[in-house]
Structure 1
Amino acid sequence: NCCGIKVYHCYADRKDTMNAELTEYAPEWIWELLNAMEGILMLHIVKNDAIDDPGNQQSIRQLCKKYPRVKLILAHIARSFNYRNARSGLYSMADIENVVVDTSAICETESFKAALKILGPQRILWGSDFGVSEMRGRCISTGNRFFWLHPELILPQYHPPTENNMTLVGIESLLALKESCEDLGLTTGDLKDIFLNNALRILKPHFPDEKKLPEADSRVQWQSAKKRISGGTGLLSKRAEQFNQTWPAFFSKSAGCEVWDMNGRKYVDCAGGIGAVLLGYADSEVNAAVTRRLMQGSYSSLVNPQEIQLAEKLLELHPWAGKVRYARTGGEAMAIAVRIARAASGKSGIAFCGYHGWHDWYLAANLGDTHALDGHLLPGLQPAGVPRELTHTSIPFRYNDWDSFEAAANNLAENFGVVVMEPMRSQFPQDDFLQKIRNYCSQKNIVMVVDEITSGLRYGYPGALSRYQITPDVVVYAKAMGNGIPFAAVIGKDEVMTAADDSFISSSYWTDGIGTAAALAVMDKMEKENVFESVWEKGSILQDQLKTISNKYPLTGLVVGGMPSSPTFTFSTNYSRAVKELFITKMQEQGFLISGIFYLMHAHQVRHLNLFTECFEKTLSVIEGELSKGNLPENEVDGFQHGFTRLA
């Protein structure tokens, strides 16, 4: 049976109980008792700053982590009668899953909005506080304190400008909650959580089975998606078959470096939105910039002036360039860049290295040779729907392999007009490879297009190419530049970019205001917080630790490679499929979503990385043990589909 206790500050053994520390009125023996029985503790915290008080924050964090089976309910949105306490203080408990808040007697939308944004609708319970809710008036913030406004406080001779008396506190609270939900676009499902489902999850009343809340089955959802959506989802790398049978294909919320599945289970996400997010999910500064643009209108018949602001910033960071174009995805931005480069060179032949999207110019490499992209994208891709007339217009070459590049150049012969390549992805350039390519392009009047969609901001600022002082003719950014908001930029030399002005390169939603607002906020934060340097440094330490650990378990065949900000995990044994699937499963059981690449984010803190290394070693130890016992099948037994191969 569910057991709960509600204690007030009046139980503290002091006169000024409103300044009592939390353990003075909720001593540790209560926590021990409730932890033993998975009980519920409701607290009305005190002190002037309530949840924004450092002492309260420290006590809540320590006790909730020490007694994780206690379900803590902080009344009145952690006593945020002053909404400013909620706005700054609730972040202190955002990562503690056994803490929720109730809404009782809160009358200001700002407190509700802070709770909804920081904690989400699944950690908020509707509460009435019956006695208080039947009073008339409301609580208001003033400075860093709050004030209860009652009719009794108003002079008897005062006549209100309307005929109505003050509303009941309970009604004021409901109205504030309603308005907050409307402003934030909450759904009917969110409201059901706040008013019913969250309480059922916490209290676990003994209802008949048919009345219990069903858990979402990720596998069933994924099968449903595949019936209705081509491929199940628009990004191949997110398909559930890429991982394992227990992979949570769908998410309900993401924040920082954490993601919650449809059943509310929280994971530390090491996939970084498949490399698209560098700052962290739902970054507050990016969200604020996007929200402002949305409130002002994100689209109109006129041009958004932030396009000019961003262009000036991008050209400042790329002094060799003269013009920019905007798009919304990396693949389409590469198609734009290729069109421009072909126009500038007057030739259609392309030598490329790495992965550059799904468009015809790229998949044309597999026309006549379905293995051309095996090392760059996926093995055995069929160029279905790609015009046969594009055969031999795109030829791949291998990174750091000059002979391979020359072979591609010779194959294209007089039609060779464009080089497209990533500056680096899983290995650094060797023997001046990038400079040799640049020199060759300059000598032969070939347009050099550099794809910084993945490497941009992550491997250097503004891009990886800036580390080597090499000037391309065109450079393309996406992914991290939008930090989860669709955005891409094509930046190029004036004479190259203007070569396509007479062509038709145009799209309505390349001009929406959301992407440019996000990109400006991202660039600002990158510079203010030295994000590239910080992530690279954390990644270097992590990568060295993982290499040391993996060397202790040779049977796993694990090779840790890649870049510091995106370490890669390659299992090179006859059991690699089963080993990788077990690796994914065991890390997932310990709260980490990880596959073949760890895309670090600025939001990954040292504590996340320390815990990751602990779980990483435990997982490799288990795998080593299973391999030594002969318990894992060889590769002919399918576990899941393998993902992309990258040669850059």
Structure 2
Amino acid sequence: MIDQKNIWRKSLKIIPGGNGLLSKRPERFLPDGWPTYFSKSDGAHVWDLKNKKYLDMTSMGIGTSVIGYNNLFINNYVKKKIDLGVNTTLNCIEEYELAKELLKIDKFAQQVKFARGGGEAMSIAIRLARSKSKKTKILFCGYHGWHDWYLAANLKNIKNLDNHLLKNLKPIGVPNFLKDTAIPLEFNNIEQLKKSSNIKNLAAIVVEPQRLSRLSKDYVKTLNNICKKKKIILIVDEITSGWRDCVGGVYKKIGIKPSIVVYGKAMGNGFAISAIVGKKDIMDVAQDTFVSSVAWTERVGFSAALAVIKFHKNKKVFQHNKKIGIFLKRELLKLSKKNNLKIKINELDTIINFDFVHRKSDYIQTLFTELMLRENILANNLIYLSYSHKILLVRKYLLAVDKTFKKISYSLKNNLNILKSRKRIYNYKRLSPKIR
């Protein structure tokens, strides 16, 4: 019989951290009960190594599958291309075709550069901005990856990145001379933006237009004016926000006027592809600074993104996801009230985050995951909606939530600890000896 916990313990011995992505580690969900490994997937469902089927109401591949897992249309398109060969001495035409499609979507831009991961795409954008401006300092607001330019923010203060997604990120291995080259901005803090934009040697301002909430209209207006007046390169990180609320980036909906937009995650619906889309005078600097990789020219990622764009346009994916999201948020609030549990929900409709307002919130959140798992549903307080989340599946989820909220409420009222697992470890930290 397959022991998934034992596999994870063995994996910890031969892979640092157990895997390549922090966000998929079981201690962030349910340390002693998370299935951890999948054997197959389809739509909004995944199967573990024991062939047990789960409805995924969490991050859908850490935000990659906005259409749904194992989509037949995308897979068939990619498979046909694979059968013709993936990487040769010559270039694949799909790179050119995808660049043309993106420039139709992002009309402010004239050129595109491709990579495979979001973090490396952001590093390319930063390199281009520094090369073009001949300056070094970066102001940023949001989470932008693991590379040295970003993690350098914590060289000055280990807490600098705490409010940008992950806490306790140690900049070990990042050269100390990068101190003060990356400077964080608070979300929607206009006065801080105005003051910080006056620093000398400023190459670019980087923002996420939304994660759990959106940049305000006043902030966007101020941001645009500052970048225009001072000729600062404005980079919009759409790696998480892109392809959810519209075709392409949400920056268009809130009025940001970028120099560069960076895409990743959902642009490939799980296939590895990222893009840096920008103005010619900045993008062309890639000819002067060395930015190149053989992995960026393979055919699969380009083909997947082309299929994703076509699917989005034909099926109006974002309209479906928004409609489902509005319904789901309304029902979650109803169920929390019904079961005397106070929750706080973010303003976005396609990425739903809800927090339990209680002094035992960590216990409640872990218990919620544990109890939902008994209903064969992968769940925490973050839901990335997909086109595969049809209304019947969402209703099934809500029935399980009602049942789970009732049990949680009862345990709190009677001061009972019914959690079988240890509490989740949501911040970044080394794995405990017990887990090892």
Question: What TM-score bracket applies, with the shorter chain setting the length?
Answer: over 0.9
Letter in 1 for 2:44: C
Aligned pair partner of 1:488 in 267, 274, 290: 274
The one-letter code matched in structure 2 to 1:622 is K
The separation in 1 between residues aligned to 2:346 and 2:338, in whole angstroms, is: 16
Q: Counterpart in 1 of 2:19? A: 233
Matches within 5 A, 1:395-414: 395-410=183-198, 413-414=199-200
CA contact (8 A) 1:575 1:633 kept: no
How many Å separate the matches in 2 of 1:248 and 1:641? 16
Question: 1:610 — aligned with what?
Answer: 395
Q: Could you say which residue in structure 2 is the equivalent of 1:263?
A: 50
Aligned to 1:642, which of 416, 426, 432? 426
Which residue of 342, 350, 355 maps to 2:138? 350
Contact in 2 for aligned 1:561/1:569 (Cα 8 Å): yes
* 1:375 partner SS: helix
Matched, 1:594 2:382: no
Residue 546 (structure 1) shift: 1.1
Deviation of the 1:561 alpha carbon:
2.0
Instruction: Assess if the C-alpha contact under 8 Å between 2:203 and 2:233 holds in 1.
Output: yes
Distance 2:46 2:306 in 1: 25
Aligned CA distance change for structure 1 residues 477 and 523 (closer, same or farther; 3 Å):
same
> Which residue identity lines up with residue 390 of structure 2 in the other structure?
Q
Paired position in structure 1 for 2:432: none
Q: Separation in 2 of the partners of 1:328 and 1:431?
A: 32
The aligned residue for residue 247 of structure 1 is 34
User: 2:163 is matched by which residue type in structure 1?
Assistant: G
Q: Specify the alignment match of 2:364 in structure 1.
A: 579
Q: CA deviation at 1:431?
A: 4.1
| 1:387 matched residue in structure 2 | 175
The 8 Å contact of residues 122 and 262 in structure 2, kept in 1 or not, is answered as: yes
Q: How many residues align?
A: 425
Contact 1:578 1:633 in 2 (8 A): no
1:440 is the counterpart of 2:226: yes
Aligned counterpart in structure 1 of residue 93 of structure 2, from 305, 329, 334: 305
Shift of 1:409: 3.0
State the alpha-carbon separation in 2 of the partners of residues 342 and 549 from structure 1.
50
Which residue of the other structure, out of 332, 345, 352, is the alignment partner of 1:567? Answer: 352
Of the candidates 458, 462, 475, which is equivalent to residue 261 of structure 2? 475
- Give how far 1:217 is off: 1.9
After TM superposition, give the deviation of residue 457 of structure 1 in Å: 0.6
- Structure 2 match to 1:511: 297
What letter matches 2:150 in structure 1? Y
- Paired residue type of 1:355: Y
Distance in 1, Cα, partners of 2:347 & 2:39: 30
Tell me if the contact between 2:197 and 2:226 (Cα under 8 Å) persists in the aligned partners: no
* Offset, 1:633: 9.2
CA separation in 1, counterparts of 2:263 and 2:387?
19
Question: What is the rounded CA distance, in whole Å, between the counterparts of 2:376 and 2:418 in structure 1?
Answer: 25
- Give 1:461 deviation, angstroms: 2.0
2:339 and 2:172 mapped to 1: Cα distance?
Answer: 43
Residue 563 of structure 1: CA displacement?
1.6
Aligned partners of 1:487, 1:466: CA distance in 2, in Å? Answer: 21
Tell me the residue number matched to 2:431.
none
Aligned to 1:158: none
Contact between 2:209 and 2:238, CA under 8 Å: does it hold in 1? yes
1:187-212 deviation line (CA, Å, top 9, x unaligned): xxxxxxxxxxxxxxxxxxxxxxxxxx
Is contact 2:167–2:427 with CA below 8 Å preserved after alignment? no
Query: Are residues 1:543 and 2:352 paired?
Result: no
Amino acid at match of 2:375: Q
CA distance in structure 2 between the aligned counterparts of 1:429 and 1:414, rounded to whole angstroms: 25
- Counterpart of 1:373 in structure 2 is 161
Q: What's the offset of the Cα at 1:452?
A: 0.4
Is the 8 Å Cα contact of residues 417 and 445 (structure 1) preserved in structure 2?
Answer: no
Computing the radius of gyration from Cα coordinates, the structure with the larger value is 1
CA contact (8 A) 2:112 2:278 kept: yes
**Cα-to-partner distance string for 1:613-638 (whole Å, 9 max, x where unaligned):** 1111111111011000011399xx96
Aligned to 1:425: 211
Aligned to 1:337: 125
Q: 3-state SS of the aligned residue for 2:394?
A: helix
Task: Return the alpha-carbon distance in structure 2 between the equivalents of residues 369 and 339 of structure 1.
Answer: 23
Runs of 4+ in 1 over 6 A off after TM superposition: none
Q: Secondary structure at the match of 1:598?
A: strand
Q: Which amino acid aligns with 1:300?
A: T
Contact 1:588 1:594 in 2 (8 A): yes
Distance 1:409 1:232 in 2: 41
Q: Secondary structure at the match of 2:354?
A: strand
* Pick aligned residue for 1:361 from 149, 164, 168: 149
Matched residue type, 2:415: G
1:459 to 2:212 alignment: no
* 8 Å CA contact 1:345, 1:445 repeated in 2: no
- Answer whether contact 2:247 2:309 (CA < 8 A) is retained: no
1:494 deviation in Å?
Answer: 0.7
Return the offset for 1:408: 3.4
Contact 1:253 1:260 in 2 (8 A): yes
The alpha carbon displacement at 1:576 in A equals: 1.3
Letter paired with 1:249: T
Which amino acid is the alignment partner of residue 351 of structure 2? S
Using the alignment, how far apart are the partners of 1:583 and 1:562 within structure 2? 22
CA distance in 1, matches of 2:114, 2:9: 36
Partners of 2:217 and 2:254 within 8 A in 1: no
1:407 is displaced (CA, Å) by: 4.4
- Please give the alpha-carbon distance, in whole angstroms, between the structure 2 residues aligned to 1:632 and 1:353: 39
Query: SS of the counterpart of 1:286?
Result: helix
Offset, 1:562: 4.6
- SS of residue in 2 equivalent to 1:267: strand
**Per-residue deviation at 1:320?**
1.0
- Is the CA contact (8 Å cut-off) linking 1:344 and 1:500 kept in structure 2? no
Matches within 5 A, 1:280-291: 280-291=68-79
CA distance in 2, matches of 1:260, 1:638: 24
Q: How does 1:202-217 map to 2 (within 5 A)?
A: 214=1, 216-217=2-3
Amino acid at match of 1:272: M
Pairwise CA RMSD: 1.6
- After TM superposition, the score normalised by the length of structure 2 is 0.94
Confirm whether residue 322 of structure 1 aligns to residue 110 of structure 2: yes
Shift of 1:285: 1.1
Instruction: Please report how far the alpha carbon of residue 384 of structure 1 lies from its aligned counterpart in structure 2 after TM superposition.
Output: 0.5
Instruction: Give the drift of 1:467.
Output: 0.9
Identical residues among aligned pairs (%)? 37
Deviation at 1:478, TM superposition (A): 0.6
- Structure number with higher relative contact order (C-alpha < 8 Å, ≥ 6 residues apart): 2
Q: State the alpha-carbon separation in 2 of the partners of residues 325 and 458 from structure 1.
A: 22
- The TM-score, its normalising length taken from structure 1, stands at 0.64
CA distance in 2, matches of 1:400, 1:551: 30
Change (3 A) 1:558 1:633: farther
Instruction: Decide whether the 8 Å contact of 2:267 with 2:308 is kept in 1.
Output: yes
